[in-house]
Chain A
Amino acid sequence: MSSYLELTARQRIPAIFDPGSFEEFLPPSERIASPHLAQLDAPVSFDDGVVVGRGLLGGHVVFGAAQEGGFMGGAVGEVHGAKLVGMLRRAIDEKAHAVLLLLESGGVRLHEANAGLIAVSEVMRAMLDARAAGIPVVAVVGGSNGCFGGMGISARCANVVIMSEEGRLAMSGPEVIETASGVEEFDSRDRALVWRTTGGKHRYLMGDCQMLVADDTAAFRAAALEAIGGIGNAGLTLEDLLAEQAMLTRRLADTEGLVEPMDVWRKLGVPDPASVPMLDADAFLQLAAPYRAGGQR
């Protein structure tokens, strides 16, 4: 077993795509870095924290991206966002089999605030354009920085979200909430609470992620293959969104007054919720199957 969590973006690409098949677009040798970081004396990176390109996955032509959590937390700036958008548009031009996004991001890069915010919204629209063109979009969240802010929203614009328990998917990070609303609102140092609230098992039980795997590159690759093979119509229909509206409405009603994720799991019917964080992925999936709140593919 080899951990996905600790890998860099450039190590993840060959571990997930068919070996040797990935061709990077606008590689670091082109030396295109963010134009905004230097004026803040911040370091730049010649891939601006994201690898985009085209490769094979199980023999199919799949376009992909991997965000580098080690560079500014994988946050999205002008160039980073434009690379993602360009790749998504090219996937449509070339009628890709699918798009695979290996996400690891704090969201908008504050060093280039306005450009980052607009860029994230462009990524969302480009993802939905790809889906509308019939191209399945699969998001993978398993990096140590998690997937937050605008990219946390973008992840949920994909057909399928694949997570590990160690992955985290949310909007505002616990530190941001603690700073704004106090430690009694969200104690960011309570790591168990952070994972119960934003980690893969909770998201899977709630229906916000469709596949949960162990923190293992082979498991992520297998899940990506399975996800792409299982998507019928990539685009969104009114019926899909009415069903999602119903699921999200039900979630609100079913959890009224609850503030502790374990209580939410109990309400879903999960026996012995306290044991959930201790289970390995397989044991968890067996336990969770009958109690998931929705979000099946």
Chain B
Amino acid sequence: MSWQTLATQLFPGGHDILERDNFLSGTAQVDGRTVAIIGTTEHVPIGIEIALAQAQAILNTVQEHPGRPILILVDTQGQRLRHRDEMLGINSYMAHLGKCVDLARRKGHTVIGLVYDQALSGGFITSGLIASACYALPAATIRVMGLPAMARITKVPEERLTELARDNPVFAPGPENYLRMGGLHGIWQDDLANALARALAECGTDDVRMALGQERGGRLLAQPVAQAVRTGGHVRPT
């Protein structure tokens, strides 16, 4: 879905989002409230410039509009794979973006992520995945990397991975699997404006993804292991 179509459906109350070099920023009206919007489009790889631009927009919101909710619109093919980005420390730029989102949350900004088209690995981890809650549209693509590349690196034959990806949420791309794993809070259908308003109203500040993954049967060990480590207990057999 194009970001313009998305914005029309999400913000019937109007918006002033602008796109510059695949970077989206602006504000929108949701339920009579102004929400800050940042995001990316055209599956753009997240390089250092776009990570920095997103961080700047978050910091501006924290400085100038305390408490204003923030919506991160995610569409990226992942981190940019360039020597120069690595030389300049793209991991630091991404960490900085993540820290800015985290600061906003701690200062009382509700931060929601929405994968409206594509989300891969490095570009996702410091946007939607560091938000307080992340959602996706049903047709979104979410994955760590493509199966051919995964086969090359893990030395597991692609046919075997394809077979596993059919019904195993650990490998299979797509929002349904991320939902089962607890990585997504929900999938938005039909009335997007209503879904967003509800998400903003319901959003908490704790990281509950392990508990969600356990409840939904996609990630059975994370929660018991973290809990056993935290309390000095044992992992009960599942």
A244-B96 CB under 8 A given contacts A83-B229, A115-B181: yes
Q: How far is the CA of A242 from the CA of B56 in the complex (A)?
A: 9
Judged by a CB distance under 8 angstroms, whether B207 is at the interface is: yes
Contact of B210 among A85, A90, A117, A252 (CB under 8 A): A85
Q: How far is the CA of A150 from the CA of B98 in the complex (A)?
A: 11
Q: How far is the CA of A69 from the CA of B213 in the complex (A)?
A: 27
Q: Which of A180-188, A215-223, A226-234 contacts B (4 or more CB under 8 A)?
A: A180-188
Q: Number of B residues whose C-beta is below 8 Å from A?
A: 79
Whose C-beta in chain B lies nearest to the C-beta of A111? B154
- Looking at the assembled complex, report how far the CB atom of B97 sits from the nearest CB atom of chain A, in whole angstroms: 9
Whose C-beta in chain A lies nearest to the C-beta of B225? A82
Judged by a CB distance under 8 angstroms, whether A198 is at the interface is: yes
- The 0/1 profile, CB within 8 Å of B marked 1, for residues 31-75 of chain A is 010011001101000000000100000000000000000000000
Q: Which of A13-21, A170-178, A280-288 contacts B (4 or more CB under 8 A)?
A: A170-178
Evaluate contact between B52 and A110: CB separation under 8 angstroms: no
| Count of A-B contacts judged by CB separation below 8 Å | 248
- Looking at the assembled complex, report how far the CB atom of B204 sits from the nearest CB atom of chain A, in whole angstroms: 13
A118-B87 CB under 8 A given contacts A86-B226, A86-B228, A238-B59: no
Give B193-238 interface residues, CB cut-off 8 Å to A.
207, 209-210, 213, 219-223, 225-232, 234-235
Whose C-beta in chain A lies nearest to the C-beta of B207? A125
Judged by a CB distance under 8 angstroms, whether A122 is at the interface is: yes
Evaluate contact between B82 and A171: CB separation under 8 angstroms: no
Evaluate contact between A119 and B95: CB separation under 8 angstroms: no
Judged by a CB distance under 8 angstroms, whether B8 is at the interface is: no
- Looking at the assembled complex, report how far the CB atom of B217 sits from the nearest CB atom of chain A, in whole angstroms: 12
Evaluate contact between B222 and A208: CB separation under 8 angstroms: no
Judged by a CB distance under 8 angstroms, whether A236 is at the interface is: yes
Judged by a CB distance under 8 angstroms, whether A137 is at the interface is: no
- Looking at the assembled complex, report how far the CB atom of A38 sits from the nearest CB atom of chain B, in whole angstroms: 12
Q: How far is the CA of A52 from the CA of B223 in the complex (A)?
A: 16
A110-B153 CB under 8 A given contacts A78-B219, A117-B124: yes
Evaluate contact between A114 and B183: CB separation under 8 angstroms: yes
Contact of B88 among A81, A122, A177, A252 (CB under 8 A): A252
Q: Which of A1-9, A153-161, A267-275 contacts B (4 or more CB under 8 A)?
A: A153-161
Which B residues are in CB contact (< 8 Å) with A99?
A: none
Which B residues are in CB contact (< 8 Å) with A252?
A: 48-49, 52, 88
Q: How far is the CA of A126 from the CA of B81 in the complex (A)?
A: 27
Evaluate contact between A150 and B83: CB separation under 8 angstroms: no
Q: How far is the CA of A106 from the CA of B106 in the complex (A)?
A: 30
Q: How far is the CA of A87 from the CA of B83 in the complex (A)?
A: 35
Judged by a CB distance under 8 angstroms, whether A277 is at the interface is: no
Chain B interfacial positions (CB closer than 8 Å to A):
48-49, 52, 55-56, 59, 62-63, 79, 81-96, 98-100, 102-103, 106-107, 121-122, 124-126, 129-130, 143-145, 149-150, 152-154, 156, 160, 164, 168-172, 177-178, 181-183, 207, 209-210, 213, 219-223, 225-232, 234-235
* 8 pairs, CB–CB < 8 Å, chain A vs chain B: A90-B231, A117-B125, A124-B95, A179-B149, A202-B87, A238-B103, A251-B88, A251-B89
Q: Which 6 A-B pairs have the closest CB atoms?
A: A86-B229, A156-B95, A86-B226, A121-B129, A152-B91, A82-B225
Chain A interfacial positions (CB closer than 8 Å to B):
25-26, 30, 32, 35-36, 39-40, 42, 52, 78-79, 81-83, 85-87, 89-90, 93, 108, 110-122, 124-126, 128-129, 132, 149-150, 152-157, 169-172, 174, 176-177, 179-181, 185-186, 197-198, 202-203, 206, 208, 236-238, 241-242, 244-245, 248-249, 251-252, 255, 258-259, 261, 264
